[in-house]
Amino acid sequence: MDCMSEFTHFDESGASRMVDVGGKPVTHRTAVACGRIQMNPTTLEMIQSERAKKGDVLEVARLAGIMGAKRTGDLIPLCHPIGLDSVILDFAIEGGDTVVITAETQVQARTGIEMEAMTAVAVAALTIYDMCKAVDRSMTILDVKLLKKSGGKSGDYVRVSE
């Protein structure tokens, strides 16, 4: 079997294509993704105390992540543009040097929203970097990944703990 035929975004000849979802039923779909941004402890303290010159870093990152999720179809070439029903971003502190970003997306649609959840996390992390780079260029974005998804023909997925 040709390897390209196993990927839905390529046709039998290997040409790129947008998957036809027109015949799929509309179902409730959810996705949860997470990622981390690691930084100097003093940078994290600055974020937590809201002393950044550009404002409340996590609130700006939350808005950016939501906006990123909404624009995923514009960023990922073969991703269907879909109207999201809900995007929720949460932040948690891990140790003294890491912000954990979690995004949950929901929609009634013919196609999944895993890409929207992961894009929300990535854009939020990039926004944190952008807002804090003047004081810490060593920040590192890590482990953007899908944790779980539900809905659609392929059913549910839950990442096994690592």
**Enzyme catalytic residues:** 130
DSSP code per residue over 28-56: EEEEEEEEEEE--HHHHHHHHTT--TTS-
| Burial (Cβ within 10 Å: 0-12, 13-18, ≥19) of residue 114 | buried
Question: Which structure tokens are listed for 133?
Answer: 């780079």
d(CA 115, CA 29): 12
As beta bridge partners, residue 141 has 37
Element (H, E) at 102: strand 98-109
DSSP code per residue over 79-95: PPP---SEEEEEEEEET
